[in-house]
Amino acid sequence: MRLFVAIDLPWEVKEQLSELSCNLPGARWVPEDNFHLTLRFIGEANRLQAEEIDLALASLRGRGFTFSLSGLGWFEKNGRVNTLFAGVERNEDLARLQTKVGTALHRVGLAPEKRRFTPHVTLARMDQAVTPALTSFVQANNLYRSVPIRVDNVTLFSSFLGKDQPTYTPEAEYALA
């Protein structure tokens, strides 16, 4: 089973984000049900590993906080845009939570994440060079700000890769307090 740890978003924010989808050439829009903020991608895990991950995440402690989504951007790989995303305003509580998740998972034998944590919500998948249409879309929507999003728990999701879009299923929720 493929696993990841994320913050699920409230419906009102998911609906706001889905309203951003438009006829942008090359964009494969993420369904609103799938919007989330990934804290740590785990990948394939067997049943024993999943149980250890569950126990590690159940031991997380912290206090709730709020954060806001802010602006749009894209990630590139080998000179091609692969992800269009909504960014996150700088937030020390969010960074601290992500570090705690990473530490808990490292204790059960998962290698540390190699990439620097860049909090975001994926809006669309792409595979193309930067185009004027993409640049215009991001500039036109760069003032996007979400309502404050309250975080009182994190969720362990499983991911099933389907033909068109992956299906994400919440497997367990872990309260921070």
Burial 12-51 (b: 16+ CB within 10 A, else e): ebbebbeebeeebeebebbebebbbbbbbebeebeeebbe
Active-site choice (9, 101, 120, 137): 120
Residue 33: pLDDT over 90:
yes
- Per-residue model confidence as pLDDT tens digits over 139-148: 999 999 999 9
pLDDT band at 161, cuts 50/70/90? confident
The separation between CA 95 and the C-alpha centre of its own chain, rounded to angstroms, equals 13
Answer yes or no: 106 catalytic: no
What are the residues facing 2 on neighbouring strands?
44, 159
Residue 164: pLDDT over 80:
no
Q: What is the mean pLDDT of residues 103-107?
A: 95
pLDDT of the residue at 114: 86
Q: What is the mean pLDDT of residues 24-43?
A: 95
- Per-residue model confidence as pLDDT tens digits over 55-68: 999 999 999 999 99
pLDDT of the residue at 115: 86
d(C-alpha 131, C-alpha 49), whole Å: 42
pLDDT of the residue at 92: 96
Domain count, the chain: 1
pLDDT of the residue at 165: 78
Active-site choice (3, 8, 16, 36): 36
* 3-state DSSP assignment of residue 93: helix
CATH number, position 140 = 3.90.1140.10
pLDDT of the residue at 27: 95
Range of the domain at 141: 2-175
pLDDT of the residue at 177: 73
Q: What is the mean pLDDT of residues 114-137?
A: 94
pLDDT band at 162, cuts 50/70/90? confident
